[in-house]
């Protein structure tokens, strides 16, 4: 029973600590002009993922292999879903040289506080703050058939203040990285 109670306390503490924060992902470098789109709808794709986390104290550390594999599996599923929605036949391959669409994903999670966030936290969120963690995700797409390639960067913007407590739950919808990835892939397919 103690474990369940401890888990409940940790879960409530996590929600409370985040309860005055709203996070939003901002996709940069979108292609604006309509392109010819994918020349072929028979796509084989490969995904390369580099994942790490960064703290101000310890610097950059790699994410454990299990979490990296789970994230890769989600990207494989999401890529297949987007390609099928576009009417393409999609096949995932392990080797880059067998792929017609190469996807490179870099994830660097900034887990330390920004200086302004520290000030806000020390004031019990009475002093508002906001900050941007630049290039938390980087998506690079390359279509071998056409030679087109593009790189997207995703920033995480956060807003902190005591008055945000009633609406902190909106973060569960605005900080959906999988949606941002699908948007980037769709933008590349339609406009490259």
Q: Tokens 């913007």 map to which residue?
A: 157
Mean pLDDT computed over 127-137: 92
pLDDT in the model for residue 50: 95
Q: Is the pLDDT of residue 7 over 60?
A: yes
pLDDT in the model for residue 71: 95
Mean pLDDT of the chain: 86
pLDDT in the model for residue 73: 96
The predicted-structure confidence for 11-54, as pLDDT tens digits, reads as follows 665 555 556 788 889 999 888 877 666 556 889 999 999 999 98
Q: Is the pLDDT of residue 1 over 50?
A: no
Distance (Å, rounded) from C-alpha 126 to C-alpha 177?
29
């Amino acid at each position: 029973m103690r474990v369940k109670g401890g888990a409940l306390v940790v879960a409530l503490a996590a929600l409370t600590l985040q309860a005055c924060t709203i996070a939003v992902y901002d996709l940069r470098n979108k292609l604006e002009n309509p392109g010819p789109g994918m020349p072929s709808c028979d796509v084989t794709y490969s995904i390369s993922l580099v994942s790490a986390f960064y703290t101000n104290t310890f610097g950059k550390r790699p994410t454990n292999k299990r979490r990296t594999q789970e994230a890769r599996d989600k990207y494989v599923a999401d890529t297949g879903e987007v390609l099928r929605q576009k009417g393409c036949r999609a096949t995932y391959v392990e080797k880059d040289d067998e792929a017609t669409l190469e996807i490179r994903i870099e994830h660097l999670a900034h887990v330390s506080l920004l200086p302004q966030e520290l000030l806000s936290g020390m004031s019990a969120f009475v002093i508002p703050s906001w900050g941007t963690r630049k290039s938390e995700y980087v998506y690079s797409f390359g279509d071998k058939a056409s030679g087109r390639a593009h790189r997207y960067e995703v920033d995480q913007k956060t807003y902190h203040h005591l008055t945000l407590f009633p609406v902190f739950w909106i973060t569960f919808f605005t900080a959906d990285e999988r949606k941002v990835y699908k948007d980037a892939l769709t933008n590349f397919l339609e406009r490259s």
